[in-house]
Structure 1
Amino acid sequence: MTPERLRALCLGFTAAVEEFPFGPGTSVFKVGGRMFALGALDARPLTVNLKCDPEDALRLRAEHPGLIAPGYHMNKRHWNTVTVGALPAPLVRELVEDSYDLVVAGLPRADRLRLDRP
């Protein structure tokens, strides 16, 4: 998956926005003001931090050692750093979608309803 496809994937979700609060080199993708993906899209290798259920995070790290690791500069229990180009694109899409869904699930009910996700 290329940086352009990763950006398009993240921005393809309802109400997703890209911001640069850490400078122009780090893309932060948010929904409802909360981050669901973070990464330097020009970095090699391309990596992205994604929110993850704690049990799934441990399983994914065990299944993909060196490619999925505890979130760099993030809460290691709830975030993974994913090496995008080394993993199959369908898995990356699933991980990004799971991250988005976890963040949306934590939004207030009114915000979820506006996103059409009760």
Structure 2
Amino acid sequence: MKEEDSILRKIGTKNAFRVPDGYFEHLTSEVMNRLPEKETAIVKSQEPTTWERMRPWLYMAAMFIGAALIIRVASSDRLPSADRTAADDAETEMEYIHTAMDNSMLDDYSLYVFLADSEVE
């Protein structure tokens, strides 16, 4: 505390920074006067060519064709539902049920309680 008081006595509490009178009133006009003149660009308007008009439509068509091909390739490894038999569906469903039961870690009594509660509702 004593050090701060001694420093304040030596330096004082006045603001040491000063701005010339009228500096901020004329600042904007002086900055604008120092800027170089902007050159106006001459734009020639031309009629768009046929390719420039058709390009967005062709790009969009190519995008949809590509998406359709990707979907077709990604789903080609699956057999159509008409080729699968009902027995295959039943076997697959039973495999899922057995896998789910093995992973559920339920004992016989817990399974019985679950099935008994679900039949009531």
Q: Under TM normalisation by the shorter chain, which class is it?
A: under 0.3
* Relative contact order, higher structure (CA 8 A, sep 6+): 1
Q: Which has the larger radius of gyration?
A: 2
Q: Which has the higher strand share?
A: 1
Q: Which has the higher helix share?
A: 2
TM-score (norm 1): 0.24
TM-score (norm 2): 0.24
